[in-house]
């Protein structure tokens, strides 16, 4: 299991190392803090095809709507059913219970170039 981060403040946790490789995606704790109170999350439907860097989800806060980009390409297998009634889970536990969707990766080589946790923390510090 390994967790990777994007410069757009998404995290992706990759499970297993034999095909099909699956992963869970969410936004980082830093991102939820920047967004403020989250009031609605529009999630990709199971079966949806995502491309690396493409808009996959929209997080509505009191302030604004923000796109969430898929860290890698693949197919959505599940989205977080708890967020329908409790979108605030993304605020309280962005990198745990507030996950957004699970997906099957199309090409694991797309993980190259994402940051590990230490690199992401350093990146956030630099902002």
Partner 1 sequence: MSDQTNTDSHDDDVPETEGLPLDAWHRARGGRMVEFAGYWMPVQYEGIIAEHHWTRSHAGLFDVSHMGQLEVSGEGVEAALEAVLPIDLATLKPGRQRYSLLLDEDGGVLDDLMLANAADHYYMVVNGATKWDDIAHLREHLPDAITLTLLDEAALLALQGPEAAQALERLGLVPVNEAGPTVGEMTFMDSGQFLWGDVALQVSRSGYTGEDGYEISVPADHAVALADALCAQPEVKPIGLGARDSLRLEAGLPLYGHDLSPETGPVEAGLAFAINKRRRATVETGGGGFPGAEQVLGQLAGGAPRKRVGLLLEGRMAAREGAIVMLGDQQVGMVTSGGFSPSLERPIAMAYIASKVADVPTLTIDVRGKRLAATVVPLPFVPHRYHRKGAIG
Which position among 4, 9, 52, 102 is part of the footprint of partner 1 (CB under 8 A)? Answer: 9
> Quick one: which of 15, 16, 37, 107 contacts partner 1 (CB under 8 A)?
37
Q: SS3 sequence, 24-63?
A: EEEECHHHHHHHCCEEEEECCCCCCEECCCCEEEEEEECC
To partner 1, the closest distance from the beta carbon of 67 in angstroms equals 5
Query: Does 87 engage in binding with partner 1 (CB under 8 A)?
Result: yes
Contacts of 66 (CB under 8 A, 6+ apart): 35, 58, 59, 60
Task: Work out whether 13 is an interface residue with partner 1 (CB under 8 A).
Answer: no
Write the DSSP assignment of 110-125 as a string of letters: GGTT-B-HHHHHHHHH
Site string for partner 1, 47-86 (x = CB under 8 A): -----------xxxxxxxxxxxx-----------------
Q: Per CB under 8 A, which region of 38-46, 73-81, 105-113, 117-125 contacts partner 1?
A: 38-46
Taken as a whole, the chain contains a residue count of 127
Largest CA distance in the chain: 42
Q: Using CB under 8 A as the criterion, which residues of the chain lie in contact with partner 1 when the complex forms?
A: 8-10, 27, 31, 35-37, 39-40, 42, 58-69, 87
């Amino acid at each position: 299991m390994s967790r990777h981060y994007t410069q757009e403040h998404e995290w992706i946790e990759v499970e297993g190392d034999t095909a099909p490789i699956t992963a869970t995606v969410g936004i980082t704790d830093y991102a939820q803090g920047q967004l403020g109170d989250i009031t609605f999350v529009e999630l990709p439907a199971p079966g949806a095809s995502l491309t690396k860097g493409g808009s996959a989800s929209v997080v509505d806060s009191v302030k604004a709507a923000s796109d969430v980009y898929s860290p890698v390409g693949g197919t959505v297998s599940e989205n977080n059913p708890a967020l329908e009634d409790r979108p605030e889970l993304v605020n309280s536990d962005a990198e745990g219970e507030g996950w957004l969707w699970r997906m099957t990766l199309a090409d694991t080589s797309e993980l190259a170039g994402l940051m590990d946790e230490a690199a992401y923390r350093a990146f956030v510090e630099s902002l």
